Amino acid sequence: MRFSYFPGCTDHSTSYEYGRSTEAVLKTLGVDLVEIEDWNCCGAAATHSINHLLSLSLPARNISKAQAAQAGPLVIPCAGCFNMLKRAEYALKNDEARRKEIEDIVQFNYDPGLEILALIDVVLNRVGLDQIREKVKKPLTGLKAACYYGCALVRHPKVTGLDDPENPQYMDRIMKAIGAEPVDWSYKIDCCGADLALTYGNVVQKMVGKIVAMAKEAGAQCIVTSCGLCQANLEMRQDAGLPVFYFTELMGVAFDSEKKNTWWKKHMISPKGLLESLGLG
Amino acid sequence: MEAITEMNKMDATFLEEAKKRSGEDLSLCYQCLKCTAGCPTAPIMDIRPNNIIRMIQMGMKQEVLGSSAIWLCVSCETCGTRCPNKIDIGVLMDALREMAIDEGIHAKEKNIHLLHEAFIDSIRRGGRVHEATMLIDYKLRSKDFLTDLVPGMMLFMKGKIPLLPSLVKGRGEIKRIFERCKK
C-alpha cells in the first residue's frame, strides 16, 4: 500500500514523537509513505483567522505537489493540517469561482480525484483492524484509555467527512484492536483551547483541566490523541499527571517497536511508569 | 429621542455585507442558542455567538467588529456543526475578523491578532513555521515577555523547538502566493 505523505511543520518539532511513531507503525503495517516534495505549511488557524484566500492557497500548493507525485491518496497525521487541506479541498470542489482563483494563484489544475485522508482513517479503513491485530506482539491488556478527538478531525463534518462528529469511534476501535480498553466518556470532542494557549494560558488551563478530570472520572489511565496541538495542550496545561499519547505510540507499544523508548523522552509527563506497571515497558 | 440616535448608529448594509463575505445565510437564525451552549470560549466573550448574529441582523456593525468575541473564537466549529439552520458560525467569525481589519478597527484582543500575524510572517519567511523565531517575534510585538516562559523552556529542553528552521526550496512560489493573497 502506498500513499503520498504530508508530515507538516511540527513533525520535527513539537510533535516529534508523533512523526517517529507514525513512521515506525506504518512500516510494520507494510505501508509506504512518499513524502511530497518541498511541501509548505498548511497555514494553520492563523491564516484562516485573518486571510481567507491565503488559508486556501497555501494548502492548495501542497495539493498540487501531491497530484504531481502520483503516489496515491494524500495522508496527513496532524489533525490541524488535515483540517486545513480539507477546507481547501472543500472550496476547490464546491466553489467554481474560488477554484479558478486558487488555480491561478498556485498555478496548477486541480484534480478532484486526489483523496485527502487523515492518518487515523487510513489506519482503520485502508489498512484495517485484521492487519493491525495480526501485528500485535504485546496486547495492551489492562490499559484504560480515553480517546480524545478534539475539533479538527471531526468538524466541520461537511468538510472533514470523518466518523461521527458527536461520538467518534475510529480511535476507540483501533485501541480495542491492540488490546486496550477505551473508556466511555463525554469530553472526546471538546476543544482543548488550541492556540489560545499562547495568549490566554489561564483559560486553556481550565479547559484542559476539565477534559483531564473527566477522563480520570471515567477511569482512564491515559488520554490518546491524533493532533500535535491537542497533545501539547493536554500535557502541558494539566497538573493531574495523566499521560497523553499519540495513538501511533500505543500502536508502537503493541507492535513492540524497537525505538519506542526514544519517544517517551519527548513527553512532558513520562508514560514509562504506567507502561511498566502493565508489563509493557 | 434616544431611540432615534440609536437607530442612526445602525448600519443597514451590515447584514448583507456579512452574508456576502461569509457566504452564510444569517437571516435563518431563530435564536435557539445551540451555538452559544456548545461554545468553549463563550464564557469569556463580551458578546455571545447567538447575540453576534442578532446584532448583525440589527446592523450593529461597530459593536460586532469591535468585540472581543470575534477574536476569542478558536474555530472549533462546534457551533456550525450543531446549528439547525446550517449557519457555519466559525466561518462567519473568520469573515468578521477580516472585515474588522479592512475597516481599520483595532482588534479588541490585540495579542491574538499579533500572534496570527507573527505566525503568518514565519510562513512568509521560510514557507514553513519556525517556532523559535515565530515565538520571539510574537513576544517582541506583544511586549509580553514573561507569560509562558516555563512551558517554552520545557519544550526547548525537550528538543521540541529546533534552533534551525526547515525551509521550503520554492520560496519564490511562496512569495508569489503571499503577493497574490495580499489585502
- Contact between B76 and A44 using a beta-carbon 8 Å cutoff: no
- The verdict on B17 and B98 lying in the same domain is yes
A109 contacts: CB under 8 Å, gap ≥ 6: A103
Which of A80, A69, A77 minimizes the C-alpha distance to A111?
A: A69
pLDDT value of residue A41: 98
Model confidence pLDDT, tens digit, residues B149-170:
888 888 999 999 999 999 999 9
**Strand pairing partners for B130?**
none
pTM beyond 0.90, yes or no: yes
Grid coordinates in use for A235? Answer: 500535557
What is the band of B145 on the pLDDT scale with cuts at 50, 70, 90?
A: confident
Bridge-based pairing of strands A244-246 and A222-225 is parallel
In a domain, B64, yes or no: yes
Report yes or no: A94 at the B interface, CB cutoff 8 Å. no
- Chain A hits for B42, CB-CB cut-off 8 Å, are none
- The verdict on B50 and B15 lying in the same domain is yes
ipTM (interface pTM) = 0.95
- The verdict on B90 and B163 lying in the same domain is no
- The verdict on B88 and B128 lying in the same domain is no
Spatial separation of the C-alpha atoms in residues A156 and A144, rounded to whole Å: 29
Bridge-based pairing of strands A2-5 and A32-35 is parallel
In a domain, B151, yes or no: yes
In a domain, B107, yes or no: no
- Restricting to A residues 196-215, those with a Cβ less than 8 Å away from any Cβ of B are 196-201, 203, 207
Minimal Cβ distance to A105: which of B88, B131, B177: B177
Alpha-carbon distance values, A30 to A123, A156, A179, A268 (Å): 11, 31, 21, 31
- Chosen domain end from B83, B102, B121: B102
Minimal Cβ distance to B94: which of A49, A58, A155: A49
Minimal Cβ distance to B40: which of A44, A201, A207: A207
- Contact between A266 and B158 using a beta-carbon 8 Å cutoff: yes
Model confidence pLDDT, tens digit, residues B31-49:
999 999 999 999 999 999 9
- The verdict on B82 and B19 lying in the same domain is yes
pLDDT value of residue B148: 84
- Chain A hits for B161, CB-CB cut-off 8 Å, are 13-14
Q: How many CB pairs under 8 A join A and B?
A: 146
In a domain, B150, yes or no: yes
Regions in chain A scoring below 50 on pLDDT:
none
Q: How far apart are the first and last CA of chain B?
A: 40
- Chain B hits for A82, CB-CB cut-off 8 Å, are none
A158 contacts: CB under 8 Å, gap ≥ 6: A90
The average pLDDT across B133-142 equals 94
Q: What is the domain range of residue B177?
A: 112-182
The average pLDDT across B82-102 equals 98
Model confidence pLDDT, tens digit, residues B4-27:
666 667 898 999 999 999 999 999
In a domain, B3, yes or no: no
pLDDT at position B147 over 90: no
- The verdict on B68 and B122 lying in the same domain is no
- Chain B hits for A155, CB-CB cut-off 8 Å, are 76-78, 80-81
- Chosen domain end from B102, B131, B165: B102
pLDDT value of residue A195: 93
In a domain, B73, yes or no: yes
- The verdict on B123 and B166 lying in the same domain is yes
Minimal Cβ distance to A38: which of B158, B168, B177: B168
pLDDT value of residue B151: 86
CA distance B100 to chain A (A): 10
- The verdict on B16 and B98 lying in the same domain is yes
Minimal Cβ distance to B78: which of A57, A155, A232: A155
Q: Is the dihedral of CA B147, B151, B156, B162 positive or negative?
A: negative
- Chosen domain end from B102, B122, B140: B102
Model confidence pLDDT, tens digit, residues A27-49:
999 999 999 999 999 999 999 99
pLDDT value of residue A13: 93
CA distance A130 to chain B (A): 33
Spatial separation of the C-alpha atoms in residues B114 and B106, rounded to whole Å: 11
- The verdict on B128 and B98 lying in the same domain is no
Domain of B44: which CATH number?
Answer: 1.10.1060.10
- The verdict on B24 and B69 lying in the same domain is yes
Count Cα atoms within 13 angstroms, Cβ side, for B162: 15
CA distance A120 to chain B (A): 19
Please count the structural domains in chain B.
2
The DSSP output letter for A194 is: G
- The verdict on B80 and B120 lying in the same domain is no
pLDDT at position B57 over 60: yes
In a domain, B137, yes or no: yes
What is the band of B146 on the pLDDT scale with cuts at 50, 70, 90?
A: confident
pLDDT at position B96 over 80: yes
pLDDT value of residue B92: 98
In a domain, B4, yes or no: no
- The verdict on B60 and B31 lying in the same domain is yes
